[in-house]
Structure 1
Amino acid sequence: MFEPHIEKLYRVNMNLREDETVLLITDDTRPYLTDLLWEFYEVGKLISKKVKKIQYPSLGQHGKEPPEEVWIETFGEIAVEELKKDGLLSRILNKESYSEEDALNILKKYAKDLPQVVIAFPYYSTTHTFYRKVLTNHFGVRYASMPLFEPEMFYGPMDVDWEEVSKVSLQIAEILTEGEWVEIKAEGTKLEFSIKGRHGIADTGLFHKPGDYGNLPAGESFTAPIEDSAYGKVTILYGPDRRLDSPITFKFKDGAVEEVEGFDPYVKYLEKVFKEHERARVIAELGVGTNPKAKRADNILECEKIMGTVHIAIGDNHTFGGINKVPFHTDYVVFEPTVLIGGKGWQRLLLEKGRLII
């Protein structure tokens, strides 16, 4: 049903070539993901000589590392066994303390037949994982991360002029790189934090160069705030996949969520996460949406791309310039924000009540 759109994704977004290997990964959280996996597989075989696929049991949370079977399919059995011998694999999968350098040295020595392209569309995100980080940063794999993807997105935020989305995203990423501090104001929201020394990253949707990665649908510019710098509050109307029964408010102090106010059941879920992982409270990301056809608010994959919005994430950010490592990362969108960004001797209005100013 979606073959033409999948072919466009392969050719336009990923620039997949005949001599390249592509690996498709997903989970079993939603039944339609199995059908989508087979469609990606069949279309991929028309372009590439080698297409691999794997589906694994749902992990139940964004930001968790893919399970062992995905590592074996990606790096090979010998590399994974070597990680296990050194006691590294279990610590990686649980995001416990471990030497990334030691893990990387093993993978560089023993990994074989790595794919050049990974298309990951499990319901729960693999973006903020060591698995993704090592593939893109050290093996030059082009990686499309599509958590919460639904096929209807092919007709909206995937049907855009990707060159234009790329242009706007790169412009904003440059501004984020130059900036040292940010202030965000919106209804129920007043937050300030530092981004000094952190680089802006453009999620352009065009993954053509070795190591390129991002979401599909794409369309944002983002950075990792200084982890202990956030003060203020953020009020949200939507969780990752639904409109909340009533708004909830995060109160930030010293960079972390000190308190969550509200009566929606999602508050109980967050309290459970915070109890299990204290570092899940920490501010992780500032993102600015740049996709003109992103409209849907009840799916965070699309919602955070809506042009004129910003999103704040808490949890893991060690894979894109931060230092917080925890098996949790979730974004929350702020609508119609006014955003001020500045540095020494300068400041500029980036958004004014949801209107992007560049």
Structure 2
Amino acid sequence: MYSDQIRNLYRTNLNLGVEDRLLVFTDDEKDYLEELLGDFLKVGREFTQEVRSFLYGATKTHGAEPPEGLWRQTFGDEAVDELKDRGLLEKVLHKENYPEGEVLGVLKEKARDVPSVVVAFPYYSTTHTFYRKVLTEHFGVRYASMPLFDPTMFLTSMNVDWHYVAKLSTDIAEMLSEAEWAHVKSEYGTDIEFSIKDRKGIPDTGLFHNPGEFGNLPAGEAFTAPVETEAYGRLVILYAPDRELERPITMKFIDGGVESIEGFEDYRYFIEDVFKKMPEARFIAEFGVGTNPKASRPDNLLEAEKILGTVHIAIGDNHTFGGLNKVGFHTDYVVFKPTVLIGGKGWEKKLLLRGELQKI
């Protein structure tokens, strides 16, 4: 049904060619994902004959490492067996402390036929995983991450001028790199300040043509990893990743972490349970600015965080894009119609005023 749109994704966003080795994978969280996997494979074979796929049981958490079977499909049995023999694979999969250098050494020595392009659209995100980090940073893989993807996005937020999105995202990312702090407010109660000193701004352009480039599709944001111990204030949340909350909840941040949650909503109890299981999940992880003018859905996080005129703040894992926190959880929360100030020594700039992007 969406063959033309998938074809355009391969051509425009990934520059897929006959020399590429393509891996497409998803999970079984939603019925339509397996059918979409078949469509991606069928169209992919128009571009290259080296196409492989994988379908796995949903991890149920954004930011969790994908299962062993996908590692085998990606790196080969010899590499994965060596990691298992050394007792490293289980530690990686559970985001326990492990020697990254040793893991990388095994993969670089033993891995065979690693894909050059990955299209990842499991319902639960693999963006903030060691799996993705290894592929992009050390094997030069072009990686499109599409968690929560709904095929109707092909007609909306994927149908955009990607060169405009890329330029705006890059310009704002450069500003985030220069800034030392940010202050986000909304008319419905969000009021939070945090440090982004010495943290690099990263553009999510939607154009992954060069080795190691990665991001979401639909794309359209500039983001950075705030300093994990320096966030103070209130974040009022209106939407969970895939639904509007029946009642808003408020996270109160002190010293970078969520100290308490206010509001009676089932999602609050889910988050509190996450914190009990993974205490490090409570720390601020990401600050991003939406840059996609065709994005509009507030009830789907993949698209909501790309809406031009919004920002989003995440908690949990950020070690894969410049932060220090390693934990099996990462979730973003969108702030709508925000007023945003950023600044450094001797300067400050109003980036957004009630959801309107200011001159940059």
TM-score range (shorter-chain normalised) is over 0.9
Aligned to 1:29: 29
Matched, 1:40 2:40: yes
Could you give the per-residue CA deviations for residues 267-314 of structure 1, whole angstroms, max 9, x where no partner exists? 110011000000000000000000000000000000000000000000
Q: Hey, what's the Cα distance between the residues in 2 that align with 1:105 and 1:353?
A: 49
Q: How does 1:87-102 map to 2 (within 5 A)?
A: 87-102=87-102
* Map 1:13-28 → 2, pairs under 5 A: 13-28=13-28
The CA distance in 2 between the partners of 1:119 and 1:266, in whole Å, is 30
Cα offset, 1:19, TM superposition: 1.4
Q: Is 1:209–2:210 an aligned residue pair?
A: yes
Give 1:151's aligned residue. Answer: 151
CA drift of 1:44 comes to: 0.2
Query: What secondary structure, in the 3-state scheme, does the structure 2 residue paired with 1:193 have?
Result: strand
CA distance in 1, matches of 2:260, 2:310: 24
Q: Counterpart of 2:179? A: 179
Aligned to 1:85: 85
Task: Give the match for residue 283 of structure 1.
Answer: 284
SS in 2 for 1:19: coil
Distance 1:209 1:179 in 2: 27
Cα distance in 1 between the residues matched to 2:263 and 2:10:
43
Matches within 5 A, 1:165-314: 165-186=165-186, 187-314=188-315
2:332 is the alignment partner of 1:350: no
2:75 corresponding residue in structure 1: 75
Length-normalised TM-score, structure 1: 1.00
Distance across 2 between alignment mates of 1:149 and 1:176:
27
Q: Secondary structure of the equivalent of 1:47?
A: coil
Deviations 1:104-151 (A, max 9, x none): 011001001011000000000000000000000011000000000010
Q: Distance in 2 between matches of 1:161 and 1:248?
A: 35
Code of the residue aligned with 1:44 in structure 2: it is G
Tell me the distance in 1 between the aligned counterparts of 2:316 and 2:251.
Answer: 13
Unaligned runs of 5+ in 2: none
Encode CA deviations 1:233-265: one digit per residue, 9 max, x unaligned.
010110000000000001000000001111110
Whole-angstrom distance in 2 between the partners of 1:261 and 1:253: 14
Following TM superposition, by how much is the alpha carbon of 1:61 offset from its aligned partner in structure 2, in angstroms? 0.6
**CA displacement, residues 69-95 of structure 1 (integer Å, 9 cap, x when unaligned):** 000000000000111111110000000
* Secondary structure at the counterpart of residue 287 of structure 2: strand
The amino acid of 1:320's aligned partner reads: F
Match in the other structure for 2:110: 110
Aligned counterparts of 2:48 and 2:179: Cα–Cα separation in 1: 42
Q: Which runs of 4+ in 1 moved over 4 A?
A: none
1:112-131 to structure 2, matched below 5 A, reads 112-131=112-131
* SS of the residue 1:165 aligns to: helix
- State the partner residue of 1:137: 137
Could you tell me which residue of structure 2 aligns to residue 340 of structure 1? 341
Per-residue deviation at 1:7?
A: 0.3
Aligned position for 2:55 = 55
* CA–CA separation in structure 1 for the residues paired with 2:22 and 2:196: 35
Kindly state the Cα deviation for residue 49 of structure 1 after the two structures are TM-superposed: 1.5
SS at match of 1:320: coil
The one-letter amino acid of 2:3's match is E
TM-score (norm 2): 0.99
- Taking the aligned partners of 1:204 and 1:196, their CA distance within structure 2 comes to 23
Write the distance in 1 (CA, Å) between the matches of 2:347 and 2:82: 51
RMSD between aligned residues: 0.5
Q: For residues 266 and 100 of structure 1, what CA distance do their matches in structure 2 show?
A: 34
